[in-house]
A and B are shown apart, each in its own frame.
Chain A
């Protein structure tokens, strides 16, 4: 029986109190861990999906909506723009790369993107089997789509109108056929069905007036012109950033939005909420610390006689001080570890139950280095909560304590 063993024995002796304090601390730690993982993974996802895209050009409307719909595929597009814009932009000297996107349809909630092979290539996606599309209605699917639908090569499917997994009618004309599947990239491409831009036009019978998409304003009166939804632009020189957005926004019917600017704006909006909850979580941690302090303080008052006795039979002040500190640290360690486990558990449960969260790339299996700081913070709170009661050992007069305690 060592003094550490004694710490365990004391904690076990007041088991309910110990369990409640551990739980209280764990809740604070878990809240911080959830916020941290959520914010970090969201930010990481946002950054990765927008990498290398300097500008998005699309129909006029909300720039944030344009970015969300054409980079992250989470909002509805602002509208369509003429196909001629692709050529016009490609002729700009400051532009290195233009990738067209034609949106508006889905297959069981996975968005169908009419684009060029340069799009998956931009995210470093490589085929796990099959080949790239080269004819209309040939589709290549991302890793999550393949896993989610269990779709193999040669699988045929009909696209549906709209972008959600709603009950919109299926296009009854031509089915897509899966010709290739991509390896996981950890980017938005994993959740997309990709085909040629022409496929999307054909699907909508571009020669007919079929502008029934609620989310695509009727721009082409009469005969439908070949259109795309957005263009992902990469500059060849920094000069592009100075000239292009201003020109597009003032001189054309289109708008240009910089992902970096919009993401920063979005994250600062989300960040405000996160910071508010973070403050609450910190408060929770401090409350837990205070609770540990009260528990140790009252326990030690009852144990003053024990401590004096231990001193009399030869335990040094330092070792008894250490014993109390260990008791606080044991509480804090248990609370911190339980909190981290709880935090990851909640993230896992959330990702499993809310598809949007899973689509944002929320991954409970990923640990962040900052979690270590949260754990260390919790340990520091435990140590500090134990410190004040423990310091009494140095002030206590043994003979006095023995005389006045039982």
Chain B
């Protein structure tokens, strides 16, 4: 329960959804009961491949509209908003760490952050960029391009980019599944540390059971067949 200590007194949960289901091509890919995540309450979505983790993330981020049910982010119904309003809500509230990092190869680490800062907040604050790069321990690699970075360095850069827009919610998709035990632990440490330092709440989706003990709040997704049965 050490990480739940930051639970705020805010009345509206940061993430909440009613009973959600989503079908693609007539096949149910996600069917889960309602769930809530308070601000400051880092949470894990755990499930095997095909259990609908990515679909759930896409619904939370407003990239996919569920077949039934709705998801609320910071009190706003993401699923009911028009596309442009979804973009705006996501831009204001959510920072994403992709499994494949998705740093822009033509830009340096510093420029990747600057672009995200410009898109997310419409401003350019070099001091904040430098501070964040230093916080994730990449100060010496700030002007390197992504293809020159190691896997670990790239992940640090991706986390820094997700945080540069000062999101309230950081969504990380499989951040550790490609890493060995010690690196996976270091990655989670870094996520917790930076999220806590910037006041962001983590939502990590993974099939990697090694990090299960690190989270107090866990949403376990069953394989689709079992979900449908339930």
Contacts and interface: CB of A to CB of B under 8 A. Distances in A.
Interface string A370-406: 0000000000000000000000000000110011001
Contacts of B114: 1
Interface string B77-113: 0000000100110110001101010101111000110
A314 B87 contact: yes
Given A314-B91, A399-B64, A2 B102 contact: no
A343 B107 CA distance: 35
B96 A312 contact: yes
A305 B102 contact: yes
Contact of A6 (B54, B91, B104, B124): B104
Contact of B165 (A12, A310, A311, A313): A313
B210 interface: no
Contact of A306 (B61, B87, B102): B102
A207 B130 CA distance: 98
Contacts of A398: 63
Nearest to B120: A314
Nearest to A320: B119
Given A312-B90, A316-B87, A2 B118 contact: yes
A1 B120 contact: no
A124 B222 CA distance: 97
A316 B107 contact: no
Residue of B64, B107, B120 with highest tally of chain A CB at under 10 A: B107
B45 interface: no
Contacts of B58: 399, 402
Residue of A6, A311, A406 with highest tally of chain B CB at under 10 A: A6
B115 interface: yes
B102 A6 contact: no
Interface in A289-324: 305-306, 309-316, 319
Nearest to B111: A1
A1 B118 contact: yes
B87 A13 contact: no
B114 to A, nearest CB: 4
B116 interface: yes
A315 B119 contact: yes
Given A1-B115, A306-B102, A406-B100, A314 B165 contact: yes
Interface in B112-134: 112, 114-120, 124
A313 B118 contact: no
Contact of A313 (B84, B106, B116): B116
B111 A13 contact: no
Given A309-B102, A314-B119, A314-B120, A9 B87 contact: no
A320 to B, nearest CB: 10
A10 B95 CA distance: 24
Contacts of A5: 111, 115
A313 B96 contact: yes
Interface residues of B, number: 31
Contacts of A9: 104, 106-107, 111
B90 A1 contact: no
Nearest to A6: B115
A3 B107 CA distance: 12
A313 B107 contact: no
A12 B106 contact: yes
Given A1-B107, A13-B106, A309 B91 contact: no
A269 to B, nearest CB: 52
Contacts of A1: 107, 111-112, 114-115, 117-118, 124
B64 A313 contact: no
Contacts of A315: 119
A403 B102 CA distance: 12
A278 to B, nearest CB: 38
B84 A316 contact: yes
Contacts of A309: 98, 102, 104
Nearest to B89: A314
A13 B105 contact: yes
Interface string A1-26: 11101100110110000000000000
Contacts of A311: 87
A214 B106 CA distance: 72
Interface string A198-240: 0000000000000000000000000000000000000000000
B104 A306 contact: yes
B125 to A, nearest CB: 12
B178 to A, nearest CB: 13
Contact of B54 (A10, A314, A403): A403
A406 B105 CA distance: 12
B73 to A, nearest CB: 14
B91 A313 contact: yes
28 contacts: A1-B107, A1-B112, A1-B114, A1-B115, A1-B124, A2-B115, A6-B115, A9-B104, A9-B107, A9-B111, A13-B105, A305-B102, A306-B105, A309-B98, A309-B104, A311-B87, A312-B61, A313-B91, A313-B95, A313-B119, A313-B165, A314-B91, A314-B119, A316-B84, A399-B63, A399-B64, A402-B58, A403-B54
Interface of B: 54, 58, 61, 63-64, 84, 87-88, 90-91, 95-96, 98, 100, 102, 104-107, 111-112, 114-120, 124, 161, 165
Given A9-B104, A305-B100, A314-B87, 6 more contacts: A1-B124, A6-B104, A12-B106, A313-B95, A313-B165, A402-B58
Interface of A: 1-3, 5-6, 9-10, 12-13, 305-306, 309-316, 319, 398-399, 402-403, 406
Q: What 4 A-B pairs come out closest when comparing CB atoms?
A: A314-B91, A1-B114, A13-B106, A1-B115
